[in-house]
Amino acid sequence: MNLLNRLLREREYGLTAVILIIGASVAFIDTGFLAAGNLKDLIIRCAPTCIVACGVMLVVLTGEIDISVGSLMALLAALMGMMISETRMELSMWLGIPATLMLGTLVGAFTGALVTFGKVPSIIVTLGLLTALRGLTTLIMGGNNIDGLPDGLGQMTKYGVLGMPISVWTAIVVIIITGMIITQTALGRRLFAVGGSRYSAKMVGLSETRLKLFVFAYTGFLTGLATVVDIPRLPKIEAGIGIGFELLVITCVVVGGVSISGGRGKLRGVLLAVLLMTMIRPALTFMDVGESGEKWTRAIQGMFILLAVITDSIAQRRRQRRIHDH
């Protein structure tokens, strides 16, 4: 019982145990799973999810949610490709990249404005944007892929520095900055306060509007950043990019221990969840599951998010019971 209570309070212990068990089990079947090349590929796969999850974590901490990041990534990738492709507008990538980051931030701020000033529930706003942005992306791309990306951008994003793509180094910087925001700044304490109790936060003079505008804009910026540093690694931008990405990010945030009702969560739990969710598909590949691997991946992700919500609910009831008893 004490172990169960510890796991409910500290999600990171459970996640670490599951990661080690999966890693050891798959390596027992095929030792190639722990080969340096496969581990490097796993880290690279984690990078864009880590970047965007840092933003979505802050959104969920305030008691809101953003399920439009996958569609936003697709739109930003399409627009960036249109701007800098040698077969399209042929703009300099030093113009296209800042424009992509700015647009991502503006869309995030617009989302936050609808939630705060418009008083529309974030699940409704971002669900609408998920569909609208995906439709706009389809309209822009016309069902065709975008190729002809600058060689310099492809080389920079694919090979990066010290053998690691720039997406990995960018993820490390974003993790450090987000961690500092959460643990070292008054802004982080205010985000926890707003998510923990809107009424109490209002009574002490915190601006819920400004805080939520910030987290949505920050998430939009990070989505643009993940697009810029990861998408050009591929030779072309495909029309179906980003599909299912929002579910993956939300799963990582919730499984990582961030309370869906806001006010509680740790970044290291989210990062462990990103690693766990990302390693599922390669693990199934090494287990020779075959073409059904993608279906199993979605099913396992769904199981994890359901389990996380249930355990969060149990932990919340236990906290309320202890408060009532005291």
* Whole-number Å distance between alpha carbons of 168 and 324: 46
> 15: burial class by Cβ within 10 Å (0-12, 13-18, 19+)?
buried
The listed range with the strongest mean pLDDT (36-40, 90-94, 123-127) is 123-127
pLDDT at position 206 is 78
Lowest-confidence pick of 19-23, 143-147, 223-227: 143-147
Q: What is the pTM of this model?
A: 0.91
Token match 């490097």: residue? 40
Which residue segments constitute the domains of the chain, with CATH numbers given?
Answer: 47-242 (1.10.3470.10)
State the average pLDDT over residues 240-269.
90
Higher pLDDT, 315 or 267: 267
State the average pLDDT over residues 184-199.
86
* Whole-number Å distance between alpha carbons of 244 and 69: 10
pLDDT tens, position by position, 51-110: 999 999 999 999 999 999 999 999 999 999 999 888 878 888 889 999 999 999 999 999
